[in-house]
Structure formats: C-alpha cells, structure tokens
A and B are shown apart, each in its own frame.
Chain A
Amino acid sequence: MSAETGVMRHAGRRLLGLVPTLLILITIVFFMMRVAPGGPFDAEKALPPDIQANLEARYHLDEPLIQQYFRYLGQVLRFDFGPSFQYRDWTVNELIAQGFPVSLTIGGLALVLSLLVGVSVGVLAALRQNRPTDYTVMGFAMLGISIPNFVVAPVLILLLAVYAGWLPAGGWEGGWTRLVLPVITLALPVIAYIARLTRGSMIEVLHSNFIRAARAKGLPGRQVIFGYALKPALLPVVSWLGPAAAGLVTGSVVVERIFAIPGLGSYFVQGALNRDYTLVMGVVVFYGFLIIVLNFIVDLLYVWMNPRVRYGEG
C-alpha cells in the first residue's frame, strides 16, 4: 500500500472521529452551563416574574432540560447556533462570523511573525552555541516567556501610542497600524518559545551523524544548515504548533481587552459570565472543531517533514 492511500485513510478516520468528540463536548458543556447557578436573565434589577416567564418562553427555557438538549443538537446539525441571549439583535452564527476574522487576522499574523523571528534567532543561537549571541538571544527569550502580556501591552501602548503618537492606542479602526501592537504583544512569548525549541533541537541535529557526514564531504555550511539540518530540527516546533496555533487564532481575552479588539476570545468569557448559553455553546463547538482540524493539519505536516513516520505501513 502506498503512503498516499495510508494518509487518506488516516485522514478519513480522523474526520470521522470529529463527530463523537464534538458530541461529547456539546453534551458536557451543555449540562455544565445549566448546572451553574443563575440564568441569562438575572440582573441587579431583577425581572418581575411575569416578564421573566415571557422571556423564558421566548427562548424555550421553560421546556424540560432534556428536550432543550435535543432541540440544541438538532440546531447544531443544521449549523444553526441560535440567537444570543446577551446580544439580542444578533445570532451566534453572526457573532462568530464577525469575531473570528478579527482573531484570525491578529493570531495568524502573530503566528507568522513568531515563526519567522523565532526560528531565525533559534538557529542563530544554536550556531553560536555558548557564545555571547546565544546568551543574549536566550536571555531575551526567557524574558519574553516570563513577562505576561498584560504587562507588555500597556507599556507598548504608553510608549508607542500615548507618548510617541505613532500608533493607535487600541480599537479596531483605521488601517494596518491598528494591528501592530496587538500582533507584537501576542507574538512575543510565542517567539521566545519557538526560539528555545528551535535552538535545542538544532543543536541536537547538528551533532547527529548525517550532518557530520555532510560536513565531512565538504558541503558548504549554508547548504548543510538549510538543506539538511533545518527540516528535522523543526519537528518539535511543528508538533507544538497545533495547539499553539489554535490558541492564537481563537483570540486572547487579555490582548482583546487591553487593545479593545472585537475578537472571539472575549465572547467565550463574557458568554460564560452572562450565562449566555447559546453563545458559549456556539463558541465551544467552533473551538472544538478548529482545534481538531488544526491538529490534523499539523499531523499531515509532521508526516511530510519526518521520514521516519508513515501511516499505513507495517
């Protein structure tokens, strides 16, 4: 059997596995939300009972729980996540459709930036192992990982937006300038992490036999690094990338709040706090789907990059 059909069969199996995973996810989250005290219509100014009843009837919350559960499953099958309780003029589908492109733009750019910068400085540090360049790069990486983004972001805003006036201090208005600060803030810890991963595995690869052989044959250093060493050295980065990418493109609550960005991350937190049942469910199902798909893509990438892994063999 060829490797290609093996990959196809694996892909088919993984995509089939998506259905029970999402079903379990929906079930757990649905009942967890309902167990939480309070409801979507509780507020400081409590509603009179008759008005509360009108609202519950409107959203089918007066039906038995199990009936609501199956009603919801039916909706999900039609890709209809229902109306939001909190944002009453919008459906959950519309909210996700507005929020996801924002998160995807910022998260995607942050991911690309982190890969470019992280891999470059990681390789550089590995080539200059235990020399000043290495220590400097790794020192900054350690800083990048340990300083939380709710510290980095306000400092960046203060310096570049408030004092210098070069960039907007937040919001989702205007051109590309609005992207700069949030993307950098999101990317900083990821750059640091990728740099450390790359450096470690690059050093390991540089000491392996096939690289020594290549060097012994007299191949130029550049060709050895980029032609032979880089691909295997990136394997740990790639396997870490799946969950990391999902985390980036689904939006960071902290970054969204500080920069006042209308991304998807806050919907999840706000939805849970407001007991916006449909919004939380919609975002969870969407996240679940996204994470499964991203992991799957990473798996395929991994197969392509690592000659030792082949599906359907043996």
Chain B
Amino acid sequence: MSVRYFAFVLTCVLLAGCGRDEAPGPRARDAVHRQQPVELRMVDGRPAPEVLAGEQVLHRDNGNEPQTLDPHLAQGVPAANILRDLFEGLTAEAPDGAIIPGAAARWNISHDGRVYTFHLRRDGRWSNGDPVTAVDFVEGFRRSADPATASHYAHVLRPIAGATAVLAGAASPDTLGVVALDDYSLQITLVDPTPYFLGLLSHASTYPVHRASVATHGPRYPRPGNLVSNGAFVLTDWQVRSRIELARNPHYHGVDEVILDRVVYYPYEDSGAAVKQYRAGQLHWTWEVPANHFDWLREDYPDELVVSPWLGSYFLGYNLGREPFQHSPELRRALVLAVDRGILTDKVTRFGERPTFNLVPPGIGEYEPPAPEWASWTQQQREEEARRLYEAAGYGPDQPLRIQLRYNTSQNHKKVALAVASMWKQVLGVHTELINEEWKVFLQNRQQRVLTQVFRAGWIGDYADPFTFLEMFRTGHGQNDYGYSDSLYDSLLAQAASERIPARRRRLMVEAERVLLEDQPIIPLYTYVTRRLVDPHLRGWASNVMDHHYSRHMFLLKSEPRP
C-alpha cells in the first residue's frame, strides 16, 4: 500500500470529519438511522458472545447472477465468491488474503518444487456427512480437466503434469498428474515449479467433487437440495436473478468457528439500486458503488465507503500488426508520455485509482514492478519528450496523426477515452476518432487485429503472481490482442516458468516487464480499486488485493443501545 493511498484515505477521513459538524447530510435523513455497533471484544481469539448480534444473517450484494454453481464449470467473479463459501479447496485464504490450510491440514513440496504432497484433514466432511477423501479431490481435478465437462476455466490447471494433453482431448483424464496415495494423502506433480500453485488451489476448478451427487443429478447437480459441498456453508435456496441463500454446514470441520447462520447473495446488476437498498437497510455489503456517487458517498458514508487497491490494471493496447504503430516505437512512446495520468485519476475516474506506467499492479508479494525512467519525470518533461518523439516519427502540425480509439460501451470507458484523446490533441495535435462498440463486437475486433489501432484493455489477475499479467504478451498467446512478439521477452518468461528460486524468478519477471515497457505495446493508465459500502456492524473481513472475502470469517456485531 502506498503513501498516496494513505493520503487518499486520510483525506476521506478529514473531509468526513468536516461534513459531520455541519448540516446533516442525506444519511441523517435515511429512515434506517443505522446505529453504531458496540465495541468489538475478543475472547480466546473469538468475538465475545455478548457483542454479537442476535440475528447472524449476512445480506451480501454480489454484482451479478453467477453463471453456474458447479465449481468445475464456474467462471466469473460472482460464481467464485459464492463457491468459496460453499466449497473448500486444498488451501484457503485468511481475511487478508494469506494462504492458509483448507481441506489439507499440511503439505510438503519436493526439493525441485515439482511434487506437492498434501495431507488431508481427517475430520473433513461433505455436507451430507460423508468423509472428504483424497479420491474426491483426484476426481475433482479430473472432472475439471475432462473435455467432456466443457469447463471454461480448466486452463488454470495447466501447470499440472499432463493437463495440456488432457484438455486437448489427446489423453485420458486418468493421466493427469494428481494421484491419491491413500484416503487422506494426495500427490500433485507439476510441469514446472510454479510458486503460485498453492494460491491456485483455492480456485473453484480445483475443488473436490461428491461423485454420487453428480452421478444422481447430472446437470441438475448444482441446485438446492442436490448440491453436496464441503465448505462452511450449504446451498439452501436459489431464485434465479433474485437471491441465493446459504446456511451454515453442520458437518463442516470448522463449524464451531463459523458465526454467521445464513448468507444471502443478491445479484444486483445496477449498483445504484444496490446502494439504495443498502441505505434502506436491506444489504450489509454492496458489490460496488456507482462512480458518479463518489463525492456524496465520501461525505455522508465516510465510515462505510471502503476503497481499496485491486489486483488489476487499466491500459490501452496498440495493434502492432498495423500501421501507424507497427514500425514506430517512437510514436507509441509519444502517446504514452502525452497522457497526464494524474488528471485522469483525479478528475475522471475519481475513486482513488493509482496512476501507473507499469503493467503489473503493486501489491503482489515482494515483486517490485520496474519503473521506467519517465515515471520519475514531471508531466512537463514527459510532454516535451512526447513532442520530440512525435516529430521524430514524422508527424507535426501540418501532418497530424489520425487514429481510431476503440472502447466497449460503458460510461467509464467513454470518459477515459475522451480524456485521453483530448490530451493527445492538446499536447501533440493528434486527431482521434472515438469508436464505441458493443461488448462482443469489441472483443471480436480486438482478437482479429484487422480493424483495431488503439483499444481499451485491462486485466484483473487470476492469482497473486505477476505471471498472470505477463503471460498474455507471449508470442501467440490467446489473449495477445496486441500482436506483440519478442524473442527476448518469450525466453525470459520461459526461464521464469522453470525457475524454482523465488528471488531469481522475480528478477526474470521484472526483466520481462522492463522489456515489455521498453517495446511499449500498451499505454498503462491506472490500477484498479474496489469500492463498496460495508455496514460497520460487519466484521471479520479485511481488504485484500484479490478481493476474496470468505463469509465464514465474518460476523455481525450488535448495535450500541440508543441513548
């Protein structure tokens, strides 16, 4: 977390302080005068019973309807959030995102970093009381990788030996490098030492499967009553696009530590609607808040508005397979330098996003993203250099650059595109045509690399490792919509993949990012933040860059009695 972020939080607190002494804001008019919670007291590492609210039911807005609750088919954030409550992988995460034991009580990693042996908890139980065994995990991995399952996210299994062949249908799922040594021991063999592998094991694709339920119910397996899961909660009700209700799983090994009785997830697509329900006291947690509400939320809900860094980067991409950018690194650099990121985050996006010149966002362990030299310049120096490069590339007032900037339909993308285009115009005299495209059309154009010149892009990390960002710029990678191809970059990534000493691996990745920024296939703009309203009564959670929040750690405090 940076100084800038603290400064931002501090500003929020100060502003809030001022607002309070003056006339009452909208919050004071809200019918639900949410009372302040009592002070939290802990006894033996647990909240004291007398500070807990009588009704432990969490109402949590989840942003959208999950596409499925079958862990091996799941994709997208809404499904992942619910599945983390329903199931438990070999590893799990603490409130702050640290990896902790899940269904596996402990594990050993071989000296070469390629063989992981997991020892499962003896008291692991499915929600119907059956024991959770190593075979359940083996079958889960196989089901995920099996082409017949048609999983969207099975590619996260690729570090496992044999996974690529299984996914391609060239080998049977039995050949996957995951074997049960006995009922409670599991061995996973990897292709390369993959330091982030433990983090992948809390991902839904690696969850175990209760084979009998899948066999009995087939495609109706992820329904209330049918879904047998091994996590802290069980699925009790699912009204499509209305609510998904979970109740505490009495068979869960850590059931004594779970305080919430029930969790209700709501799929509200309209963040404005969610904020209104929060204000009316119907929600404890919103998925996000609308960008244009920021100022008054900051004033009237200072303690409840939570803004925190997220593992994601917002940037623009160049199509390197086309003129004018194909053979002109000067021009690419000029456009990178001409954007004033401070104005972009202070005046346009306005939620405490962090301006950046990097691809990999901060906050991933010990990884220090390499700062290019212009990051330390003043904006004026950058603009001078931009003008010099622009002219060197053969453009000028008489012969301005004319380009198209594509983005997908969204208020925020539109504002950012407009701001960037006007900065290019002001600093360099570039004529930018803004082209707004419907989502699927935009995706197709980006992938085909025929029409695009400059386009909006962005990436939220799949796991807390720089590799999730760097990987997609590999030659021929399915996500490489830029047409970037550099043999040095590719070889640095290949070396990083097979490197087992963490410090050396980090250095290789830093070097790769440096090469990438030097070649400039992208225009980094800012790193994402999550922004939501959280009821002050809700505790047991913490901000983390992955934005993973397990309900099983959370609990509700009771209110301070009214004076």
Contact = CB atoms under 8 A, between A and B. Distances in A.
B438 A165 contact: no
Nearest to A86: B67
Given A54-B150, A89-B222, A260-B277, A49 B272 contact: no
A38 interface: yes
A95 B240 contact: yes
Given A88-B70, A89-B219, A165-B32, A260 B440 contact: no
B243 A172 contact: yes
B165 to A, nearest CB: 10
Given A50-B168, A58-B150, A173-B243, A42 B444 contact: yes
Contact of A51 (B151, B270, B273, B447): B151
B6 to A, nearest CB: 31
Contacts of A46: 443, 447, 478-479
A273 interface: yes
Among A37, A89, A161, A259, the one with the most B-chain Cβ atoms within 10 Å of its Cβ is A89
Nearest to A169: B280
Interface string A243-263: 000000000000001111110
A258 B440 contact: no
A98 B152 contact: no
A50 B169 contact: yes
B313 to A, nearest CB: 13
A54 B170 CA distance: 12
B276 A38 contact: no
Interface residues of A, number: 54
B155 A43 contact: no
B396 interface: no
B440 A154 contact: no
Nearest to A97: B240
Contact of A83 (B219, B438, B441): B219
Given A154-B276, A260-B268, A38 B443 contact: yes
A158 interface: yes
A275 interface: yes
Interface string B126-163: 00000000000000000000011011101100000000
A258 B31 contact: no
Given A89-B219, A165-B280, A49 B150 contact: no
Nearest to A275: B440
Nearest to A40: B440
Interface in B418-472: 438-441, 443-445, 447, 458, 462
Among A47, A55, A266, the one with the most B-chain Cβ atoms within 10 Å of its Cβ is A47
A89 B223 contact: yes
A108 to B, nearest CB: 19
B417 interface: no
A36 interface: yes
A64 B135 CA distance: 40
Given A43-B75, A98-B240, A38 B280 contact: no
Nearest to B268: A260
A38 B444 contact: yes
Nearest to B240: A98
Given A47-B478, A51-B151, A262-B239, A89 B69 contact: yes
Nearest to B222: A89
Nearest to B31: A165
A171 B150 contact: no
B270 A273 contact: no
Interface in A59-116: 83, 86-90, 94-95, 98-99
Interface residues of B, number: 55
Given A49-B478, A162-B30, A162-B31, A171 B266 contact: yes
A42 B73 CA distance: 15
B205 to A, nearest CB: 12
A242 interface: no
Contacts of B277: 168-171, 260
A43 B220 CA distance: 25
A95 B239 CA distance: 10
Nearest to B223: A89
Interface in B36-77: 65, 67-70, 73, 75
Nearest to B149: A54
A164 interface: yes
Contact of A44 (B29, B441, B443): B443
A260 B266 contact: yes
Contacts of B32: 165
A275 B239 CA distance: 23
A280 B242 CA distance: 20
B222 to A, nearest CB: 5
Contact of A163 (B29, B65, B269, B272): B29
A222 interface: no
A306 B459 CA distance: 64
A45 interface: yes
Given A54-B147, A275-B440, A47 B152 contact: yes
A51 B67 contact: no
A179 interface: no
B234 to A, nearest CB: 16
Contact of B276 (A87, A158, A166): A158
B152 A55 contact: yes
A87 B30 CA distance: 36
Interface in A16-54: 36-39, 41-51, 54
Nearest to A256: B241
B372 to A, nearest CB: 26
Nearest to B220: A89
A42 B239 CA distance: 26
B443 A87 contact: no
A258 B443 CA distance: 28
B282 interface: yes
Interface in B475-532: 478-479
B228 interface: no
Nearest to A41: B152
B444 A163 contact: no
Among B223, B240, B270, B444, the one with the most A-chain Cβ atoms within 10 Å of its Cβ is B240
A300 to B, nearest CB: 35
Interface in B258-282: 266, 268-270, 272-274, 276-277, 279-282
B167 interface: yes
Contacts of B274: 260
Contacts of B268: 170, 260
Given A89-B222, A162-B276, A260-B270, 11 more contacts: A42-B443, A47-B152, A51-B154, A88-B67, A163-B30, A169-B282, A171-B242, A171-B266, A258-B272, A260-B266, A266-B241
22 contacts: A38-B439, A38-B441, A41-B152, A44-B443, A48-B155, A50-B168, A51-B150, A51-B154, A51-B155, A54-B147, A54-B169, A89-B222, A99-B240, A158-B276, A162-B31, A165-B32, A168-B282, A169-B273, A172-B243, A258-B273, A260-B268, A260-B273
Which 6 pairs of residues, A with B, have the shortest CB-CB distance?
Answer: A165-B31, A38-B440, A169-B280, A262-B241, A262-B242, A88-B68
